[in-house]
Amino acid sequence: MYTSHIVLQRKRYLSGILMAGLGSILFSGKAILIKLAFTYGANAEILLALRMLIALPLFWSIYWWQSRQKKMSPINWSDRIKIIFLGFLGYFLSSYLDFLGLQYISVGLERIILYLTPTIVLLISYFVLHKTISHLQWAALILGYLGVLTVFIQDVSSTGSAAWLGMLLVFASACTYAGYMIGSGEMVSRVGSIRLVVYASTSSAFFSALQALAYHPIDIIEQAPQIYWLSILNAGVCTVIPMLLIMIAIHRIGSPLVSQAGILGPVSTIFMGWAVLSEPITWFQIAGMTLVMGAMWLLVSKDAHKQKPPESAELHGFSSKDLLS
């Protein structure tokens, strides 16, 4: 009896690690698909609108299924307004800035910058909320930004001054999402992670469609077939499916271990960029990636003993980060 329980726990642990790793890799494929869509003449506004509109019914299906499993408490209007704002900030604005930035930098640099989001949350907490930062956290911050600088040097040598614009746009994307994560922490405990994802993505889909219609009212239905197929893959394979994998993994092994498995994201992005987009892999990239992953490992390992329940802000933050970026 005891042995079978140990075997079951081990299988649960291994399956959780596998799901977390696969989810992180699938999330990272988003940047590859966006880059490919750009080659067919699509723009950031259209790609963002298509992604959100296609993903929206999938997320509502998940919400409907969960609502059948347990009763949902009603949400007051004050929380609804906050969720609309959070959806605009974290899902619409952050995604749009990221899509714009991908036009100017490599997918490897984009993924590494976005991977710094936890450090941005730390800095906002320190300078705005006046929370303390430990020496280990300061070391992780310095290490992470040195890594980004190293990869950025490689991009500047390849794409020139345009890399500056791309880096600033993607970094702004990470900053707006960091603000969203801080603002949504209390909201998750009240409305639940799934419902917050669904409602915020609905808000984002509305703003994305409104923007696309304002700038390109006809273009959304006049794209090349390849763009629609890439958007379907982006919404399904690189957004909804990995989010489900990550959420199941957190239930099985906890958010700290899932975050550690997320280190596969930047690694897989660089190699997918090389295989699909013919982006070069250099020692500068490998060195920078190693520094950033080491920094994130320090931050995650520090809090690895703090196993929070699945409805925590970490579940929402990790599982939905690539929904928007």
Q: Which pLDDT score is estimated for 322?
A: 47
Contact 21, 264 (CB under 8 A): yes
Q: Which two tokens stand for residue 228?
A: 């629609």
Contact 106, 279 (CB under 8 A): yes
CA trace torsion 201, 203, 205, 211 (10° rounding): -140
| Separation of alpha carbons 202 and 91, rounded Å | 9
pTM: 0.86
Task: Centre a 10 Å sphere on the Cβ of residue 228 and count the other Cβ atoms it contains.
Answer: 15
| Separation of alpha carbons 25 and 22, rounded Å | 5
Give the pLDDT means over successive 10-residue stretches in the chain (325 positions). 69 84 90 95 94 94 84 84 93 95 92 87 85 86 89 81 91 93 82 87 94 88 94 93 86 75 83 90 86 81 48 38 46
